[in-house]
Structure 1
């Protein structure tokens, strides 16, 4: 994997009132990658519409864990561990939320120039069940020979 990478992050929520899910929310951006102590680190920035400044994001990927840290317009440290529930405070421009994440599955597939992460989890806000969710993350070397934005 090269230092310069392209990330695709797609999320989907299903609440108990929906029969079928809505459209996934997806971002595609560039980032920086490095590996240390068998953990993959990806850093990228995002802009929040309607606010000045950016949010710096760090993804830390290990054997069966996805760790997301956001610092800036929003601030949070979320940990997705298979069969574990983690609670954190999510600081947004609109106020703070207690967020609970109960990850049911964390699947990580690594190749030389590609990493795929898929997480299925239950989301709780202020100790109330909100939705069943999934996140799909694809990290590709910017210089990959078979580079494509389509999956």
Structure 2
């Protein structure tokens, strides 16, 4: 089961002053099931600031792994209450990153569904805000 799907990625970041910034990306991608995990694969665009990057999302029942490869590289595992550290490599340099997942919801079936993540994000050990990420997948 590998199918072409419409992927909508909506990210909202709230800073310490309560100010919110939201971006939404709608693109075509691939969706498939492998070893009881769902995978979503799509190309980033200029809108996300990561043009030339492929994002792969592996969704398990209570854990989501986001892996980006290309002009920007990053990998984080989102498991409720379990901090994850890594690095974010961009054409401009590398940053140390940390995520502190507060909510991880996976509601996917063979025809699509959604992933909802809420987490604190830190760059170079400096907290930069609270993030909400919603990824939806629909058959076309």
- TM-score w.r.t. the length of structure 1 is 0.84
C-alpha distance 79-60 of structure 1, shift in aligned 2 (>3 A): same
1:107 touches 1:118 (CA, 8 Å); kept in 2? yes
**Aligned counterpart in structure 2 of residue 97 of structure 1, from 95, 98, 115:** 95
The number of equivalent residue pairs is 139
Match of 1:109 in 2: 107
Q: Deviations over 1:90-145 (max 9, x none)?
A: 00111111110000110111344222111110001111111011101101111xxx
Q: Please state if 1:131 is matched with 2:129.
A: yes
Larger radius of gyration: 1
Task: Let me know the Cα RMSD of the aligned residues.
Answer: 2.0
Match of 2:23 in 1: 25
Match of 1:13 in 2: 13
1:108 touches 1:118 (CA, 8 Å); kept in 2? yes
Match of 1:34 in 2: 32
> Which residues of structure 1 form unaligned runs of 5+?
143-151
After the TM superposition, list the runs of 4 or more consecutive aligned residues in structure 1 that deviate by more than 4 angstroms.
Answer: none
Match of 2:44 in 1: 46
> Which residues of structure 2 form unaligned runs of 5+?
none
Match of 1:121 in 2: 119
Secondary structure of 2:83's counterpart equals: strand
Is the strand fraction higher in 1 or 2?
Answer: 2
- TM-score w.r.t. the length of structure 2 is 0.91
Secondary structure of 1:84's counterpart equals: coil
What CA distance in whole angstroms lies between the structure 1 residues aligned with 2:36 and 2:109? 14
